[in-house]
Amino acid sequence: DVKVTQSSRYLVKRTGEKVFLECVQDMDHENMFWYRQDPGLGLRLIYFSYDVKMKEKGDIPEGYSVSREKKERFSLILESASTNQTSMYLCASSSPGTSGRRSYNEQFFGPGTRLTVL
């Protein structure tokens, strides 16, 4: 059974704190993603990684950084948390496995971390 885990389900931090969110997948997937999800705004991509030590900015990377030292682990870092970073953070992984002309890229999500910054 596929599994993506996230380090915390709920997290409360103070403005200015450095925050680490960790994600681990056991599916040997190449691709990993960090999203945030806010009411009315849908899923927004923060960063993604297609290989160890590789990272690419998504749509809203400002205020965030990431680290991928091992294939199974992808960390999201809030260098100095702010109240507008209060959100649900979702990690996902996928494999670009192909068969003929098909490109799978089915994403599997972790349970999410609801972060509150006070």
Partner 1 sequence: QKEVEQNSGPLSVPEGAIASLNCTYSDRVSQSFFWYRQYSGKSPELIMSIYSNGDKEDGRFTAQLNKASQYVSLLIRDSQPSDSATYLCALSGSYIPTFGRGTSLIVHP
Question: Smallest distance from the beta carbon of 27 to partner 1, in angstroms?
Answer: 13
Give 16 or 96: the residue with its C-beta nearer to partner 1.
96
Distance of CA 78 to the CA centre of its chain: 12
9 and 114 Cβ atoms separated by less than 8 Å: yes
Site residues (CB under 8 A) for partner 1? 31, 33, 40-43, 45, 48, 50, 90, 94, 96, 101-112
Give 14 or 102: the residue with its C-beta nearer to partner 1.
102
* Token couple for 99: 């068969």
Rounded to whole angstroms, the Cα distance separating 64 from 45 reads 11
Question: Smallest distance from the beta carbon of 78 to partner 1, in angstroms?
Answer: 19
